[in-house]
């Protein structure tokens, strides 16, 4: 199986030893504590789960700036985005060398992790603007990722962490949330060697389903891991439980046995387009995938990125050998009326626009909200039913 990023073995930061875990939980109750942002909590979950291997904790300002500007830390570790614990107020932890990080997304703000404080640095506006522009390609506050990043605060707490729980992800999604460690183990149990990963924050329609099957066939892979984001999304995106149900139904009915795993991970969407595509590749390598499918406008939002910027960044900005995982570059996919199947549009040069079944996301949402099933060429009827029930529940 492919090696993790930056080390021979995966080093998740979750404390699995029960005695040590209990002792740390007791220690945490006596430590100065701070409730972190949702983004910092998600970063802790990802480090605890091994997806951000080989990081040992939150970055300092120099490392964060290095990752933003040059995709690497000051020590030369390739990493495509800053991983920060940004807070607005440091009064409760002033002078502390060890602190408890509390979860903003769970009632009662339970302890999420313990952090050794290496430094607390105030990030000046110029640094925030540089990081924002480099990671998101814009400083427009209408971009949901930009707005979320710039709302966290200006004090960066750097240092190693020990993760003590996985926030709400394990309890809310017990059948879907998996750590990178668990996915590696499941891949071994399946007997798979060559594995394709598919990232999604949306339900999967026919085109997505067929894209996974195309990649499996083209790469002669053993299986595909459908890996859905379970964290915070922008307003209007479909909630994780609805996506989970629709994807599971599609996999159950339309994939051959032992070719697909349905899993999820605890992270808040950045909507950072190309940079987030590289981040997606990094943590899919850590979970044991050999390939990541990168399609049109991967991890994008609005009109901030070019249709295939998330593919070209791997050729233009990712140094050779920085990642071992490979990219399966996909074009826009649609159902061909001529061929009676889903194809990549680049593979059908003799087709005109009217030869494809093309529906906008807005049009599909309107149809589902009215209880009208999209054509079966676009969406499996069983999937459409789950989504239709959800959209109609919004109006009731």
Residues belonging to the active site? 201-202
Element holding 153 (H helix, E strand) = none
Residues constituting the chain? 396
Phi, psi of 116 (to 5 degrees): -80, 125
Which of 197, 200, 209, 173 lies closest to 384 in space, CA to CA?
209
DSSP secondary structure letter of residue 108: T
In the chain, DSSP assigns E strands to 33-35, 57-58, 86-87, 98-102, 111-116, 119-122, 155-163, 195-200, 223-229, 260-265, 291-294, 326-329, 333-336, 341-344, 356-357
Alpha carbons within 13 A on the beta-carbon side of 83: 28
Contact 92, 34 (CB under 8 A): yes
Cis before residue 54, ω within 30 degrees of 0? yes
Q: Are 392 and 369 in contact (CB under 8 A)?
A: yes
- Tokens standing for 264? 């999820």
Instruction: Characterize 280-303 residue by residue with b for buried, 16 or more Cβ atoms within 10 angstroms of its Cβ, and e for exposed.
Output: bbbbbbbbbbbbbbbbbbbbbbee
């Amino acid at each position: 199986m492919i090696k993790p990023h930056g080390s021979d073995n995966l080093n998740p930061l979750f404390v699995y030893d029960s005695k040590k875990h209990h002792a740390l939980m007791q220690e945490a109750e006596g430590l100065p504590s701070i409730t972190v942002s949702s983004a910092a909590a998600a970063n802790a979950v990802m480090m605890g789960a091994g997806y951000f291997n080989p990081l040992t904790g939150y970055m300092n300002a120099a490392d964060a700036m290095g990752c933003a500007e040059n995709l690497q830390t000051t020590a030369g570790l390739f990493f495509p985005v800053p991983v920060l614990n940004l807070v607005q107020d440091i009064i409760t932890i002033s002078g502390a060398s060890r602190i408890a990080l509390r979860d903003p997304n769970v009632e009662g703000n339970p302890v999420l992790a313990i952090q050794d404080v290496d430094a607390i640095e105030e990030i000046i506006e110029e640094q925030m603007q540089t990081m924002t522009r480099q990671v998101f390609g814009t400083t427009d506050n209408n971009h949901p990722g930009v707005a979320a990043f710039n709302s966290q605060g200006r004090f960066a707490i750097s240092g190693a962490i020990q993760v003590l729980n996985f926030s709400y992800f394990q309890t809310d999604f017990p059948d879907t949330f998996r750590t990178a460690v668990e996915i590696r183990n499941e891949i071994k149990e399946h007997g798979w060697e060559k594995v394709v990963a598919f990232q999604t924050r949306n339900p999967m329609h026919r085109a997505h389903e067929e894209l996974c099957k195309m990649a499996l066939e083209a790469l002669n892979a053993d299986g595909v891991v459908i890996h859905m984001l379970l964290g915070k999304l922008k307003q209007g995106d479909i909630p994780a439980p609805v996506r989970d149900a629709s994807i599971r139904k599609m996999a159950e009915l339309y994939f051959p046995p032992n070719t697909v795993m349905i899993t999820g991970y605890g992270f808040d969407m950045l909507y950072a387009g190309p940079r987030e595509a590289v981040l997606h590749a990094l943590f899919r390598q850590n979970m044991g995938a050999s390939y990541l499918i990168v399609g049109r406008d991967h991890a994008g939002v609005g009109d901030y990125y070019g249709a295939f910027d998330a593919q070209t960044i791997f050729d233009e900005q990712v140094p050779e050998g920085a990642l071992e995982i490979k990219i399966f570059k996909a074009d826009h996919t649609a159902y061909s009326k001529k061929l009676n199947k889903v194809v990549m549009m680049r593979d059908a040069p003799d087709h005109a626009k009217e030869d494809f079944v093309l529906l906008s996301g807005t049009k599909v949402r309107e149809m589902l909200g009215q209880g009208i099933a999209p054509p079966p060429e676009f969406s499996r009827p069983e999937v459409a039913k789950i989504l239709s029930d959800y959209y109609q529940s919004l109006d009731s």
